[in-house]
Amino acid sequence: MTTRLVTMDGSDTLTAAAQEMRDMAIGDVVVTDGDNVVGIVTDRDITVRAVAENMNPATTRLNEITTKDVITVSQYDDAVSAADLMRTYAVRRLPVVQDGRLVGLVSMGDLAVEREPQSVLADISADDPNN
């Protein structure tokens, strides 16, 4: 699980989210409403759901392209449970919550490092970002 999270409000722009992703060398932001997780936006979402559809990143708000109905896990869930949820719901990231509060994010790469440390995905995920 990573605890280096960026959260943003759904009213923030795609440009602001992309700049945060660039500055923090991450591929997603968790969209929140107060303390509640309401969605996730990835760099791919910005590209496929907005730019490819000719939406203006400077004026389009995150809540217009956010993946909603977010599946979450508890910090006490094990890696197998997280992997099963990812497989079942075809997602690559799961927010980790404790008492309804966001405390982290687990990704497929995190699971690879934990469960298959010799795999190519684990090697890539363990390396420093190259951007």
- Give residue-wise pLDDT tens across range 18-75: 999 999 988 999 999 888 899 999 999 999 999 999 999 999 999 999 988 899 999 8
Q: Does the residue 1 lie in any domain?
A: no
DSSP string, 60-111: -BGGGT-B-S---EETTS-HHHHHHHHHHHT-SEEEEEETTEEEEEEEHHHH
The total of structural domains in the chain comes to 1
Question: At residue 122, does pLDDT exceed 50?
Answer: no
Q: How far apart are CA 90 and CA 105, in angstroms?
A: 16
pLDDT in the model for residue 2? 82
Could you tell me the CATH number of the domain that includes residue 77? 3.10.580.10
Q: Which whole number is the average pLDDT over 96-100? A: 88
Give the pTM.
0.80
- pLDDT at residue number 60: 97
Taking residues 95-122, what's their average pLDDT?
A: 74
Mean pLDDT value across the chain? 85
Whether 131 maps to a domain, the answer reads no
- Residue 2 inside a domain? The answer is no
Whether the CB-CB separation of 125 and 2 falls below 8 Å is answered with no
Q: Is residue 19 part of a domain?
A: yes
